[in-house]
Amino acid sequence: MRALRNFGERDLRITEVDAPPPPGDDEIQVKICAVALNHIDVWGWRGMAFAKRKLPITVGAEASGEIIAVGKNVKDLEIGQIGALYGANTCGTCKPCVEGRDNFCENVNGVFGFHIDGFAQEMMNFPARLFVPAPEGLDPVAAACTPITFGTVEHMLFDNAKLQPGESILVHAGGSGIGTAAIQLAKAIGCTVYTTVGND
């Protein structure tokens, strides 16, 4: 199958790689539907590796997929479901992970597409617990933008800043991915949004 791989600074190539075996007991196998371009992908392409990375590596830190097979222990997901693929390979056993706060995982095993092979491939096996089913009617392209972009904004606005309906918010860089997500989420709960952008 095909995968988009980083072989070094500014050296991306579509190459043939082995298709995955059947999924493990706690895994699903997904056909990748869409891969979003995230800043971490650009940093990797430019060689801005702030952590050791083993190259070549399949890129893609943010994506959506359709389940095409499930492992024997997977009970709450089914073939044909579309969902977002969480961008970090978290442990699932530390206190934050058990509480559903994987973004605070104490034993992260890397970010997909940056430390470990990412989502820019035709299909892959993936931990079932890190698959986030898309709501009915959500387009796979939109779902691909949710794990990091909308997840970051949700954490910053609601977990950290405790944003409430009716409040006012200033969003810097309103034209960026994070900025546009912040505007959408704040407006969705009835906030007044002010924003800055770099040009007209």
Q: How far apart are CA 42 and CA 176, in angstroms?
A: 14
Count of domains forming the chain = 1
Decide if 131 is inside a domain: yes
Decide if 149 is inside a domain: no
Decide if 104 is inside a domain: yes
Alpha helices in 27-73 (DSSP H): 39-45
Decide if 199 is inside a domain: no
Q: How far apart are CA 159 and CA 76, in angstroms?
A: 27
Decide if 186 is inside a domain: no
8 Å CB contact between 140 and 146: no
Decide if 166 is inside a domain: no
Q: What is the DSSP letter of 148?
A: I
Residue 132 is part of a domain; what is its CATH number? 3.90.180.10
pLDDT tens per residue, range 136-157: 999 999 999 888 888 889 999 9
Average pLDDT, rounded, for the chain: 93
Q: How far apart are CA 100 and CA 182, in angstroms?
A: 22
Decide if 169 is inside a domain: no
β-sheet bridge partners, residue 124: 30
Record the pTM. Answer: 0.87
Which residues constitute the domain of residue 84?
2-143
CA angle 163, 166, 172 (to 5 degrees): 55
pLDDT tens per residue, range 34-92: 999 888 888 888 877 655 678 899 999 999 999 999 999 999 999 999 999 999 999 99
Decide if 196 is inside a domain: no
